[in-house]
Amino acid sequence: MGTRPARVRRATCSRSGRLLPDSVQATYRLHIRPKAGDGNAATSVAYCLANNVVGMGWGIGGQSRPLLPWQEYWQEAMEGHGRRSLASVQRLHAVRPGDFIWTRDTTGRYFLSCATGTWEYRDTEAGRRADILNVVSCTTHPVSLPDDVPGKVIASFRAGSTLQQIRSLTVAEYTRMLWSDLTGIPVVLGTRGTTQDLFALLDDEDAENLVFIYLQTKGWVVVPRSRSKDTMGYEYVLIRPRDGRRAVVQVKTGNTALQISDLGQPDCTAFFFQTSGIYLGDDLPATVRLSPTDIESFARANPLLMPGCIGRRIRHLQRLSLTARDETKVRT
């Protein structure tokens, strides 16, 4: 496997679930989808929860051999499955204590796990029935509210691989904030997690959702099925009930400039939102630039309207602000 790139600073989970300082974080999502054993995903999820592990199948034949060393397992697994089929097992072998793993069950309930150990091959009768043999020990907490799960995490489950890394700093920092709230254990965040800029903590789907909610409070109704990756020029379509006027929305995050245009639909209003306020071009008669200051003020003033993953980031910023204020008082 390739070298693991450096990521944000974080606190590592010990076997007790407590956090230890100063390591390099990775965030994963794991599809628990057994292809052997009973072939029942509910059984596999229950096995993981009961045994404080996350894992997958790709067992090797012969007699049961618990705690098989990696090199021995790998050699036999290569003969039985082939390298391409074992890509997810390789990724699981790369998981280190303190890495986070998102999973979900057959009902759509999400779980967040923090690794407390490294790869093991646990060949047991129960593990074979559940098709969970390659495992990592972990502490797991259910995520009770669906809007506490970031959009990028949900989207990552659409991919076919059993285990994949979620390469997003915003997801990594948010995952740590959520873990702190679930466990009551303070965390040390990376540079992005200590910013006072709300939009630096939001990914593109969060920003789209925030504008989605804002415009609905301004008298626009969003057409749900218009939110498709196939609509390359805009994020979604809106209708204003009082006169039936249509509108489209384009959102960009980070430092990517947003070009003002009518998006080829001059009979519609075109809303533009760039989280850093970087726009190109002049306003046209049917275009509206949304101000980052106005959108952030709206979010802070309406906590009950915010999805859980946005509301948690706002509360985090409020805590940072209070901490900075207290430190200023101490210095003076």
Distance between CA atoms of 171 and 167, rounded to whole angstroms? 8
User: What's the confidence (pLDDT) of residue 293?
Assistant: 94
User: What's the confidence (pLDDT) of residue 115?
Assistant: 97
How many CB atoms within 10 Å of residue 124?
14
Helix 204-217 vs helix 292-301: angle between axes, to the nearest 10 degrees? 80
pLDDT lower than 50: segments of the chain: 1-11, 15-23
Q: For the chain, state the CA radius of gyration.
A: 23
User: What's the confidence (pLDDT) of residue 138?
Assistant: 97
User: What's the confidence (pLDDT) of residue 19?
Assistant: 45
Intrachain domains 9-194 and 200-296 with the same fold: no
Comparing CA positions, the residue from 188, 171, 202 lying closest to residue 9 is 188
Distance between CA atoms of 114 and 164, rounded to whole angstroms? 15
Question: Strand locations in 85-199, DSSP E?
Answer: 100-104, 110-121, 134-143, 163-165
How many CB atoms within 10 Å of residue 255?
9
Question: Buried (b) or exposed (e) across 281-291, using 16+ Cβ within 10 A?
Answer: eeeeeebeebe
Show me where the domains of the chain are located: 9-194, 200-296
Comparing CA positions, the residue from 11, 307, 4 lying closest to residue 176 is 11
State the burial class of residue 28 (Cβ atoms within 10 Å of its Cβ: 0-12, 13-18, 19+). Answer: buried
DSSP-derived 3-state class of residue 308: helix
What is the DSSP track for 20-54? EEEEE--EEEE----SSTT--HHHHHHHHHHHTEE
CATH number of 9-194: 3.10.590
Displacement of CA 178 from its chain's centroid (Å): 11
Q: By the 8 A CB rule, do 279 and 265 touch? A: no
DSSP-derived 3-state class of residue 210: helix
Residue reference for tokens 């606190």 = 11
How is domain 200-296 classified at the architecture level of CATH? 3-Layer(aba) Sandwich (3.40)
How many CB atoms within 10 Å of residue 36?
13
Edge to edge, what strands does the sheet with 163-165 contain?
53-56, 134-143, 110-121, 100-104, 27-30, 163-165
How many residues can be counted in the chain? 332
**136 φ/ψ angles, rounded to the nearest 5 degrees:** -130, 130
Distance between CA atoms of 183 and 214, rounded to whole angstroms? 32
